[in-house]
Structure 1
């Protein structure tokens, strides 16, 4: 939406009109029971719901979701999923109710163990060239129309060797943007193992966890990682390429996936 404001600058004060991103409560409802409530940008909610269910362990494959619908209310949006009966025990084991602010992807978990849950090891033969990695965040910026309007959103994109940025999703929350991207990849039958996820943010634990669960072997970001994210990436077999801004990047883990020339491995 557009909102009037007052811009205060060294050379004076003037009225301005700025586009601001919306954020609304999105309830993830599994078989009639609310599992989580996240504050999110109300676009690509189907991707968000499917990606969230996958990265948070409600399902391990999308065919375990037997039904889906969106229900809009004055107070927000319900993303209603009906799951295969055998997934109910998995949900009970990872029960959480979250009123999630956009800066946090771990709010409301039941125990410290859940915050550092074991991650799958990511293998595969992905190779990306120096130039592809260095230019990845610039390519992501070309896929952020909402950010262009508002200057207030994050993005997650999927980079494939020799193809560039093939998909991107935006949200006020960086972890929400990543869930939307992973959901979109899975719904379109695109294997996350075939490329790198690119983030417009710093890399923290929950982003690394979601990347590992999705089976993506490389995570590229415009900013730096936390120390714990690096430790998790090392153990999970994920390559971290950070501070990627046109002329170069910094590598922390599993350097073998980065090659001088463009790879033809997709």
Structure 2
């Protein structure tokens, strides 16, 4: 991964990376008419363009941190690559108007991406476009077979540790988090972003770069559990997803069909088991 700093003039001027959290002066108003001037923090949100072998594919609004992880995780969870080694390099180019991620794909991966873009480009101005788009939502997902059990104690430990690990959110109170915990509930990776999908993509990319086997632990997210979050979790290979919020019905259905163990409304003292409870040890069994 390379990161370039200022070097040229014009519209493509390269600048320093923006901060993730920005200090600002704000006025707190009381409903009784009182006010208090205070120094606060706001989360930065910038356009991040993902460019594959010179072709712009998507622009996401994201937090400017762990962007190589984001590039790699997004590529995997969106089906652009099938394994981490298909990305040969990621170059991070911060511009005045946003950040460009130049991703160097292996030839076979780039061919798949071009075929995918060609197919999508052809679906315009016809009565089947809506059908094609709806069918695209129901992605073909791998089946999760791992049966390793995780104790409730491990899940409790991870949930208790997560707030302190959200270093950016502690300052700005506006970022989602996605975390990987091992079988004992120890948090090994935490990624934050203003976008919930981005946070999970960053976690997926970070796990791949670290050589972590997702099946050896579980994933925790602080955001709403939509179907896309379930799909990304399954594609990454996490057998268990713990969400602090409730899932949608479609998310629960997809999780059940894919064999994903889904826990929702997770708190430090309880969680709702939604699908595939066989991976959760509920009989007081603790980590070994």
What is the TM-score with the length of structure 2 in the denominator?
A: 0.83
Q: Residue in 2 aligned with 1:262? A: 286
Contact 2:153–2:185 (Cα < 8 Å) also in 1: no
1:253 matched residue in structure 2:
275
Q: Is the partner of 2:64 in helix, strand or coil?
A: coil
Residue equivalent to 2:154: 132
2:227 counterpart of 1:205: yes
Q: 1:24 to 1:3 in 2, by over 3 A?
A: same
Confirm or deny: 8 A CA contact 2:157 2:186 kept in the other structure. no
**Mapped partners of 1:27, 1:151: distance in 2:** 25
Relative CO higher for 1 or 2, CA cutoff 8 Å, sep ≥ 6?
1
Counterpart of 1:99 in structure 2 is none
Please state if 1:56 is matched with 2:47: no
Q: How far off its partner does 1:186 sit?
A: 0.2
Query: How far, CA to CA, are the matches of 2:265 and 2:185 in structure 1?
Result: 22
Structure 1, unpaired ranges of 5+: 97-109
If the length of structure 1 is used for normalisation, what is the TM-score? 0.90
Residue 157 (1) aligns with residue 171 (2) = no
Quick check: 1:29–1:78 contact (8 Å CA) kept in 2?
Answer: yes
Matches within 5 A, 1:213-252: 213-252=235-274
Residue of structure 2 equivalent to 1:169: 191
Secondary structure of 1:59's match?
Answer: coil
Partner-residue secondary structure (3-state), 2:147: coil
CA RMSD, Structure 1 to Structure 2 (Å): 1.5
Query: C-alpha separation between the residues in 1 aligned to 2:67 and 2:148?
Result: 29
Confirm whether residue 196 of structure 1 aligns to residue 196 of structure 2. no
Aligned to 1:103: none
- Following superposition, the deviation at residue 16 of structure 1 comes to 2.1
Residue pair 1:32, 1:80 contacting (<8 A) in 2 also? yes
Structure 1 stretches of 4+ moved >6 Å: none
Question: How much does 1:90 deviate?
Answer: 2.1
Distance 2:148 2:116 in 1: 32
Could you say which residue in structure 2 is the equivalent of 1:68? 90
Shift of 1:152: 0.7
Indicate the residue corresponding to 1:82 in structure 2: 104
Shift of 1:163: 4.8
- Distance, in Å, in 1 between the alignment partners of 2:156 and 2:266 is 5
Which residue of structure 1 aligns with residue 142 of structure 2? Answer: 120
Count how many residue pairs are aligned between Structure 1 and Structure 2.
251
Separation in 2 of the partners of 1:142 and 1:263?
22
Q: Which moved more, 1:110-119 or 1:202-211?
A: 110-119
After superposition, the C-alpha distances for 1:76-100 in whole angstroms (9 at most, x for unaligned) are: 111111111111232134439xxxx
